[in-house]
Amino acid sequence: MISRYTLPEMGALWSEQTKFQKWLDVEIAVCEVHAQMGTIPRDALEQIKSRAKFSVERINEIEKTTDHDVIAFTTNLAESIGEASRFVHYGLTSSDVVDTANALLLREACDLLLPKIDALLDVLKRRALEFKHTPQVGRTHGIHAEPTSFGLTFALWYDEVRRDRERLLKARATVSVGKISGAVGAFAHLDPIVEEKVCARLELKAAPVSTQIIQRDNYAEYLCTLAVIASSLDKFALQIRHWQRTEVREAQEKFKRGQKGSSAMPHKRNPILSERICGMARVVRANSIVGLENVALWHERDISHSSAERVVLPDSSIAIDYMLAKMTSLIEGLVVYPERMLENLNATRGSIFSGQLLLSLTQAGVSREQAYEWVQRNAMTAWDEGGDLKSVVSADQDIAGHLSKEQIDRVFSLDTYLRNVDAIFARVFG
């Protein structure tokens, strides 16, 4: 991921330095288990642990000759360890190290993402409660539908992000799996107890069965989980972009002093963060397809997955980390215009109350079909002629013959539509 969208902690996690450190952690854990089981001498273990070090620059230099990064890594380790290096990588294949280290990286990536999800949940809850009783027109098909609460939008998003958190916790468990089972997963050179002990040291689960690699449905689940989270953020950002449209202007991204919206038009305040999040969501979703494509590999493995994973695992993790941080900041600083919401709510001059009018007429004994015809007739008249629906309805003899003035007043009351908001919030927030 380019530095523009990389936050420090997640960027450091996916650095070459951290990757090779995780490889070393795996190699050391294997050596510790071997020493415990008597496979290698204790003094050799102490030499390995005290002397083992690596240089990213040196590994890259060696790889120019070996064209194999793991061999370049172990060669560099041998340069610092000396004679005891013959016990490093004992009985292992490259993927034993790489995939087990990947489990450590992916688990830590989840551990960095989860607090950011929690921060987003906190701000969504706070803004939901802030605007719980702020009326706004609801829209379906982009057209004014019925009154709703602006806070309900944030409550809806909160509930979705809470599900995303559960998905990420499950994905964390799924990827926290190691394997030390050899070239085809058959433990030809190691006892399965080595794998169990190594994984226990690293606080990972041992794969019940593997080939040369951890099966890639695990990684696909992780990448698809990030894609779902990205889609949630995309959904939120798209809504904010609509609110910020000039014709709507119900809410907008905070525009700080000194910020510029356009190189040509000084008046512009554009929803740039929302648009950025929507764009990055496309990248994360596309990367999930790579994860799915990597599930099917030849026999006990080929290497077609490797090059793609070097891109999509760090890129998706870094992108979601950035997107979560930006969405949290965006919503926290969102500028809201309740007065404009009321203007928009009244823009159709009462037509949005037609649903309650229909129900009131049916309760008064009118058939649904007949009531629908009367309400639609009046709504179209008000819409086409620019009248107020309540006034038009009050003058309609068919409707006035079935509903009293008090009943009509209740039909056109916002309280009728928002009376259950507290109940919904109780279900969401407890």
By annotation, the residues acting in catalysis are 141, 262
Alpha carbon distance 202, 215 (integer Å)? 19
Secondary structure letter of residue 256 according to DSSP: -
Cβ–Cβ under 8 Å, residues 131 and 154:
yes
Cβ–Cβ under 8 Å, residues 78 and 51:
no
**Structure-token pair, residue 186:** 């058959």
Cβ–Cβ under 8 Å, residues 354 and 389:
yes
Which single residue is written with the structure tokens 């360890």? 81
Cβ–Cβ under 8 Å, residues 108 and 18:
no
- Give bridge partners of residue 143 from the DSSP assignment: 140
Which single residue is written with the structure tokens 């949005």? 352
Alpha carbon distance 179, 301 (integer Å)? 14
Residue 42 Cα distances to 29, 38, 84, 85, angstroms: 13, 8, 10, 13
Cβ–Cβ under 8 Å, residues 169 and 115:
no
Strand bridging mode 177-178 / 205-206: parallel
- 252 phi and psi angles, rounded to 5 deg: -155, 160
Name the region of 54 (left: φ>0; alpha: ψ -120 to 50; beta: rest). beta
Q: Which among 25, 52, 48 is positioned nearest to 203, based on CA atoms?
A: 25
Cβ–Cβ under 8 Å, residues 98 and 23:
yes
The DSSP secondary structure of 121-182, one letter per residue, reads: HHHHHHHHHHTTT-EEEEEETTEEEEEEEHHHHHHHHHHHHHHHHHHHHHHHHHH-EE----
